[in-house]
């Protein structure tokens, strides 16, 4: 795993703290008691006395700086709560002493677990309104709720936002837990999930959000996802204070240049250019909550909350089976609108109508493709991404990347490995001959990628043989073209050379075939074959036709044509056109003779060639057309000259 930046004693710790809990349990009042900030800023929130949108505040305690995200507790605003949970380091779970654990308490705690939050403090509010016995019962309810989860040992503090009793104890508990939260690395690509967008007169577009990773500085160029637009950071603030740079674990307000307010909204992200790529398929490990009332069926439509974005997606199961409550499965999220995610990112799945949370998961392939029919192989690949060490994940992603491997930035998003560590791992692969240039080209590939391509070539050639049973094999140029289309420009010939060097394929002249489909001849075929080749050698530049030879050799014409193809494959004959063949040595003499004649007199006519070869026009015309076709000569009116490639 990448090393987190070390935090010295004189440097403040920056963390994002998110609230969680049922409506009317006093989350906003508690934040105000802690920070003197009222996070309900909308008139509607003031009128109704409930949080609707995310609220933000800042708390500094004993060297720890908390950016607080206050979320709504009403069941209709769980989507907003999930957006608020994006990027938080720890949670402040609020439970009212006069109400105890309620439905949204349970759902919010489930969301915290699903998004990977492992540190929290529980505040039992309204402690001044109930007696100690009831507070003990509420404490027991909270312990039962958190039992068996990463939050089971969360400290519980009784507090009153009215009398402020317990507020100092709560601050101390928050600070103590914050010191146990592993510091985030400041290295690597920048990523901010946008939760608010507005315009400041005279300054332009401003976005706010939690910095998920990396660092941003004034004048940095950022990419907007989705869409890919570019913008530049004019200035930035965190909780009203201006900064030249902000790192992960901070809330940020960025004033952007070159971006219209209409080009970005909540649910978008700002990233280092080239880091995140949009995708409409994502592979993930998916968990259905044990409290879910029914299994999730293949291709169910679910509401996926990821970052601050929400979208509807169909969920395909790798095993084609329902996912029962309390169980996990590998799934593919398929959506008409683009996702933008990184390896390891968490998501929440809710019913299509948004009524309740049914599960969540962890991204394994941020940019997936259609699954292969071989589901066992697909499962093995996904398991490597889920459980493998960083080097294993990197090799798997490079294998899937084929002959056009992603950039280091993209690899960071696809593997969850920081760019600095990636460079070290890539150097290790090169040193181990596990990621090298393909036969002198500037493109690199892992051996598994080449082997996978050659396996496909085996199957493609086998299909060719079965559908062209009369052919001695596939023309080597055809195979070269296929390999180039399946790999990358410029790799067809080197890959074909490597493919045909081993035992998996045989080359006969201009043809290549699998060993099992190599041309086979009986004793009679061999006699006919030898006689046919001898006849073409004896025929010189007036070769016999296959019809004539079939009668002369008392051979089946169809079989003789097949043997002629074998002779061409073996390099014994050359096909001039569909009816005329030449012995290979005579074809060489033909080119030499024509070249000498053109050297002597600058050009040559068909009649002159006919005369020199002691042949006839019946053959001389096809001979010259053949030389034109192979780019040995070029026709100029009634004469020929040498082609540029033949004269060099």
- Both tokens of 475, joined, read 């023309």
pTM (2 d.p.): 0.76
Ranking 6-15, 101-110, 158-167, 349-358 by mean pLDDT, the lowest is 6-15
Q: What is the pLDDT of residue 218?
A: 92
> Rounded to an integer, what distance in angstroms lies between the CA atom of residue 130 and that of residue 141?
15
Q: What is the pLDDT of residue 368?
A: 93
Residue 628: its H or E element: helix 617-629
Q: Is 103 exposed, middle or buried (0-12, 13-18, 19+ CB in 10 A)?
A: exposed
Task: Inform me whether the pLDDT recorded for 1 exceeds 80.
Answer: no
First-to-last C-alpha distance (Å) of the chain: 58
Split at pLDDT 50, 70, 90, the class of 81 is low
3-state secondary structure of 246: strand
Ranking 9-18, 489-498, 503-512 by mean pLDDT, the lowest is 9-18
Residue % of the chain over a pLDDT of 90: 48
Q: What is the mean pLDDT of residues 630-634?
A: 91
> Rounded to an integer, what distance in angstroms lies between the CA atom of residue 630 and that of residue 574?
12
Task: Inform me whether the pLDDT recorded for 258 exceeds 70.
Answer: yes
Q: Is 166 exposed, middle or buried (0-12, 13-18, 19+ CB in 10 A)?
A: buried
Task: Inform me whether the pLDDT recorded for 275 exceeds 80.
Answer: yes
Split at pLDDT 50, 70, 90, the class of 647 is low
DSSP bridge pairs for 13: 64
3-state secondary structure of 13: strand
Q: Token pair 């699954």 is at which residue? A: 371
Task: Inform me whether the pLDDT recorded for 237 exceeds 70.
Answer: yes
Of 154, 162, 155, nearest to 125 (Cα)?
162
- CB count in 10 Å sphere of residue 578: 8
Q: What is the mean pLDDT of residues 371-397?
A: 93
> Rounded to an integer, what distance in angstroms lies between the CA atom of residue 609 and that of residue 9?
94
Task: Inform me whether the pLDDT recorded for 46 exceeds 70.
Answer: no
Task: Inform me whether the pLDDT recorded for 51 exceeds 60.
Answer: no
Split at pLDDT 50, 70, 90, the class of 240 is confident
- What burial letters (b/e) apply to 115-129, b meaning 16+ CB within 10 Å? bebbbbbbbbbbbee
Q: What is the mean pLDDT of residues 419-445?
A: 88
Of 579, 511, 592, nearest to 547 (Cα)?
579
Task: Inform me whether the pLDDT recorded for 505 exceeds 60.
Answer: yes
Q: Chain-wide mean pLDDT for the chain?
A: 87
- pLDDT per position as a tens digit, 572-589: 889 999 899 999 899 999
Q: What is the mean pLDDT of residues 117-121?
A: 93
Task: Inform me whether the pLDDT recorded for 154 exceeds 80.
Answer: yes
Q: What is the pLDDT of residue 43?
A: 45
Q: What is the pLDDT of residue 424?
A: 94
Split at pLDDT 50, 70, 90, the class of 77 is very low
- Both tokens of 396, joined, read 């798997």
> Rounded to an integer, what distance in angstroms lies between the CA atom of residue 41 and that of residue 56?
10
Task: Inform me whether the pLDDT recorded for 33 exceeds 50.
Answer: yes
Task: Inform me whether the pLDDT recorded for 645 exceeds 80.
Answer: no
3-state secondary structure of 162: coil
Torsion 563-565-570-571 (CA) sign: positive
Task: Inform me whether the pLDDT recorded for 617 exceeds 60.
Answer: yes
Task: Inform me whether the pLDDT recorded for 75 exceeds 90.
Answer: no
- Both tokens of 119, joined, read 């540190």
> Are the C-beta atoms of residues 104 and 112 closer than 8 Å to each other?
no
> Rounded to an integer, what distance in angstroms lies between the CA atom of residue 69 and that of residue 600?
90
Q: What is the pLDDT of residue 180?
A: 92
Task: Inform me whether the pLDDT recorded for 530 exceeds 50.
Answer: yes
Q: Which domains does the chain have, with CATH numbers?
A: 13-178 (3.40.50.300), 191-271 (2.40.30.10), 279-365 (2.40.30.10), 523-647 (1.10.10.10)
Q: What is the pLDDT of residue 23?
A: 75
Q: Is 293 exposed, middle or buried (0-12, 13-18, 19+ CB in 10 A)?
A: exposed
Ranking 36-50, 194-208, 308-322, 445-459 by mean pLDDT, the lowest is 36-50
- Both tokens of 266, joined, read 């909540």
Of 279, 285, 487, 277, nearest to 384 (Cα)?
285
> Rounded to an integer, what distance in angstroms lies between the CA atom of residue 625 and that of residue 235?
72
* Residues constituting the chain: 648
Residues 6+ away with beta carbon under 8 Å from 427? none
> Rounded to an integer, what distance in angstroms lies between the CA atom of residue 573 and that of residue 576?
9
Split at pLDDT 50, 70, 90, the class of 182 is confident
Residue 285: its H or E element: strand 279-288
Residues 6+ away with beta carbon under 8 Å from 148? none
> Are the C-beta atoms of residues 117 and 85 closer than 8 Å to each other?
yes
Residues 6+ away with beta carbon under 8 Å from 59? 17, 34, 35, 65, 66, 68, 171, 174
Q: What is the mean pLDDT of residues 38-42?
A: 56
CA angle in degrees (0–180, nearest 5) for 229-233-235: 155
Q: What is the pLDDT of residue 2?
A: 38
- Both tokens of 640, joined, read 């020929």
Residue 616: its H or E element: none
Split at pLDDT 50, 70, 90, the class of 82 is low
DSSP bridge pairs for 58: 67
More confident site: 473 or 149: 149
Task: Inform me whether the pLDDT recorded for 399 exceeds 60.
Answer: yes
Q: What is the mean pLDDT of residues 453-459?
A: 93
Interhelix angle 103-114/78-85, nearest 10 degrees = 40
Q: What is the pLDDT of residue 4?
A: 41
């Amino acid at each position: 795993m990448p090393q987190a930046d070390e935090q010295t004693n004189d440097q403040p710790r920056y963390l994002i703290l998110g609230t969680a809990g049922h409506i009317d349990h006093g989350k906003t009042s508690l934040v105000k008691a802690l920070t003197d900030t009222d996070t309900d800023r909308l008139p509607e929130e003031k009128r109704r006395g409930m949080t609707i949108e995310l609220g933000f505040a800042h708390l500094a305690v004993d060297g720890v700086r908390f950016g607080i995200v206050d979320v709504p507790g009403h069941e209709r605003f769980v989507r907003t709560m999930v957006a608020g949970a994006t990027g938080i380091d720890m949670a402040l779970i609020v439970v009212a002493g006069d109400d105890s654990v309620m439905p949204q308490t349970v759902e919010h705690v489930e969301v915290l677990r699903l998004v990977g939050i492992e540190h929290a403090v529980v505040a039992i509010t309204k402690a001044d309104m109930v007696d100690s016995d009831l507070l003990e019962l509420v404490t027991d309810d909270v312990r039962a709720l958190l039992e068996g989860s990463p939050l089971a040992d969360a400290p519980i503090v009784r507090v009153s936002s009215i009398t402020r009793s317990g507020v100092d104890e709560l601050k101390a508990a928050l600070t103590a837990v914050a010191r146990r939260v592993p510091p985030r690395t400041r290295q690597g690509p920048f990523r901010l999930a946008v939760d608010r967008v507005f315009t400041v007169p005279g300054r332009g577009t401003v976005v706010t959000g939690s910095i998920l990773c990396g660092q941003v500085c004034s004048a940095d160029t950022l990419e907007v996802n989705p869409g890919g637009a570019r913008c530049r950071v004019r200035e930035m603030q965190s909780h009203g204070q201006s900064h030249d740079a902000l790192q992960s674990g901070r809330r940020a307000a960025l004033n952007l240049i070159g971006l219209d307010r209409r080009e970005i909204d909540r649910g978008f992200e700002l990233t280092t250019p080239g880091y995140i790529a949009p995708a409409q398929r994502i592979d993930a490990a998916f968990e259905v909550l044990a409290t879910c009332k029914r299994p999730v069926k293949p291709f169910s439509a679910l509401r996926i909350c990821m970052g601050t974005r929400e979208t509807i997606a169909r969920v395909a199961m790798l095993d084609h089976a329902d996912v029962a409550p309390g169980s996990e499965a590998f799934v593919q999220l398929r959506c008409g609108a683009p996702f933008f995610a990184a390896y390891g990112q968490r998501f929440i799945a809710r019913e299509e109508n948004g009524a309740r949370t049914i599960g969540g998961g962890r991204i394994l392939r941020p940019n997936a493709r259609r699954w292969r029919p071989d589901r066992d192989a697909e499962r093995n690949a996904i398991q490597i991404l889920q459980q493998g060490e960083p080097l294993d994940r990197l090799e798997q992603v490079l294998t899937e990347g084929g002959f056009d491997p992603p950039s280091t930035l993209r690899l960071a998003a696809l593997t969850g490995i920081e760019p600095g560590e990636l460079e070290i791992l890539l150097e290790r692969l090169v040193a181990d001959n596990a990621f090298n240039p393909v036969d002198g080209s500037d493109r690199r590939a892992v051996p598994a990628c080449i082997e996978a391509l050659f396996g496909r070539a085996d199957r493609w050639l086998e299909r060719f043989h079965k559908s062209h049973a009369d052919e001695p094999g596939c023309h080597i140029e055809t195979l070269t073209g296929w390999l180039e289309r399946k790999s990358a420009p410029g790799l067809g010939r080197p890959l074909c050379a490597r493919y045909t060097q081993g035992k998996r394929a045989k080359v006969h002249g201009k043809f290549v075939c699998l060993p099992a489909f190599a041309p086979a001849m009986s004793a009679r075929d061999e006699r006919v074959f030898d006689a046919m080749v001898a006849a073409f050698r004896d025929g010189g530049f007036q070769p016999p036709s296959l019809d004539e030879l079939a009668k002369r050799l008392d051979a089946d014409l169809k079989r003789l044509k097949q043997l002629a193809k074998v002779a061409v494959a073996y390099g014994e004959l050359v096909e001039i056109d569909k009816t005329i063949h030449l012995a290979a040595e005579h074809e060489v003499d033909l080119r030499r003779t024509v070249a000498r004649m053109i050297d002597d007199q600058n050009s040559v006519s068909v009649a002159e060639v006919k005369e020199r070869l002691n042949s006839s026009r019946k053959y001389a015309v096809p001979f010259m057309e053949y030389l034109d076709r192979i780019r040995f000569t070029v026709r100029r009116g009634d004469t020929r000259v040498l082609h540029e490639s033949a004269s060099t």
